[in-house]
Structure 1
Amino acid sequence: MDTSGSQLVRELLESSYLIPSYSNHLIKKVNLQIKKEKKDLDEIITNEDYDSPSLSATILYHHFSIRRSKRCLCVYHNERLKTIKRLRWTHGSTLPSEISENCLQEERNFFQEYSLLLMKYMSQIRLDLYQNMNPPCSKNIYIHVLVVNDIGEILTNFETQTIRLLKGSKHYVRYNDVKKFLKNGDVIQITNPKENLQTMTPTKNQINK
């Protein structure tokens, strides 16, 4: 079985470059192999006796060889396009020259069209998707809580803001602001902030350890 397809994928995945130069020579070899397999398969189907067990095995061999080569071509091109799309998020609307020179013109066109689609979408929803790309640290994560016991007024991590934690009240606060109250059970985290307070009876299992 020809190994050009697997060599093509391996060359891409093992490259030290983010996007290596387009492997025209291997692409050509894989396409030629597909044409050869297809020709051999057509000749077998046209000239041979279908009742022969060995013929069935030969037909399957050529058929799966063609499918394997096509999958390798799809994987190669799909991985390159996935990398190009990731570059739009990490490098902005301009491809670095050292990457651009390894891309086909069609790939550079794809990058520009993908970039335009993103800009159009962000304009429609009026949201810059490039802001806050990194997940927030734990101290900035907000949660809904129910106050089980009166705590009173506390100072938040902003140091200029306070919260009054009164029994039965619900709040949308930063996790770190109420972390110690969650641990001792004076406050419990709730998953549905619209839930009726009268139906909420705190239990030990609800207390966030």
Structure 2
Amino acid sequence: MVYGDEASKLIRECKRSHILIPYNTDVVRVVINEVAHINSELMTMQTQHPDIFERAEDPDYRGVVTAMMMMQRALRRNKQCLLAYHKFRLELVKQLAWEAQGLRALPADAKRNMSQQELEFYESYCDLLRDYSEASGGAQANLVSATLVPPRDLFIHVRALVDLGEIVTESGAVIELKKGQQDYVLRTDVEHLIAQGYLVHKGR
């Protein structure tokens, strides 16, 4: 088994569909177990080599250091994919709540495709929307007409100076950055890439 293969399936699933498809319990469970396994392996290696950080430059430790670095990257990647997968689905759940005007009305197929936690989130989010509606104009306020898009200054135009491929951002989005290509992205998702010289901010 190659670390990260199962987590990548979750990202590909998000890219293939823009509607709420069945929650992938099996793959999520595999990725969570893989995270626990990698973490356990790292703890064991650190216990076996308590001076690993002090001797990181020692040629005799090079293999151990390399293995730990690769496992740490796999661990981080798995966690990012899990966060991206769940954030993607929650955005779709919130969209359903807005379309339902906060009344908890939910199509049968959408309900079947939700996990229990997503269903609980949907109901709580509907309650928040209903409270918001009543506080800002009564129960008949049109929630669908309200915007969910942040102000434009939170998004920026950038141009990639190198091929970065697909990246999973801190906000959970999956974006592909190709050399010379311009993209309109969330500022906080790419500020570190701009600082590192991989992207150029093109302004508004």
> Normalised by the shorter chain, which TM-score bucket?
0.5 to 0.7
Q: Tell me which amino acid in the other structure corresponds to 1:77.
A: H
CA distance in 2, matches of 1:105, 1:120: 23
Change (3 A) 1:14 1:25: same
Alignment partner, residue 63 of structure 2: 54
After superposition, the CA RMSD in angstroms is 2.1
Q: Is the 8 A contact 1:5 1:73 kept in 2?
A: yes
Tell me the alpha carbon deviations over residues 148-177 of structure 1, each in whole angstroms, 9 at most, x when there is no partner: xxxxxxxxxxxxxxxxxxxxxxxxxxxxxx
User: In the alignment, which of 98, 113, 131 is matched to residue 89 of structure 1?
Assistant: 98
Point out where structure 2 has 5 or more consecutive residues left out of the alignment: 56-60, 148-204
Alignment partner, residue 106 of structure 1: 117
Alignment partner, residue 135 of structure 2: 124
Alignment partner, residue 27 of structure 2: 26
Q: Tell me which amino acid in the other structure corresponds to 2:46.
A: I
Secondary structure, aligned partner of 2:85: helix
Residue identity over aligned pairs, in percent, reads 24
Alignment partner, residue 79 of structure 1: 88
Shift of 1:132: 4.5
**Which protein is bigger by CA-based radius of gyration?**
1
CA distance in 1, matches of 2:40, 2:116: 32
Instruction: Give runs of aligned pairs for residues 1-209 of structure 1, distance below 5 A.
Output: 1-2=2-3, 3-15=5-17, 18-48=19-49, 50=52, 51=55, 52-92=61-101, 93=103, 94-126=105-137, 128-130=141-143, 132=145
Q: Tell me which amino acid in the other structure corresponds to 2:119.
A: R
Q: Tell me which amino acid in the other structure corresponds to 1:45.
A: Q
Q: Tell me which amino acid in the other structure corresponds to 2:77.
A: R
Point out where structure 1 has 5 or more consecutive residues left out of the alignment: 135-209
Q: Is the 8 A contact 1:12 1:20 kept in 2?
A: no
CA distance in 2, matches of 1:9, 1:82: 15
How many residue pairs get matched? 133
Which structure has more relative contact order (CA 8 Å, sep 6+)? It is 2
CA distance in 2, matches of 1:56, 1:131: 53
Change (3 A) 1:58 1:132: closer
- State TM-score, norm by structure 2: 0.59
- State TM-score, norm by structure 1: 0.58
Q: Is the 8 A contact 2:98 2:129 kept in 1?
A: no
Q: Is the 8 A contact 1:88 1:115 kept in 2?
A: yes
CA distance in 2, matches of 1:72, 1:112: 25
Shift of 1:131: 6.3
CA distance in 2, matches of 1:130, 1:39: 47
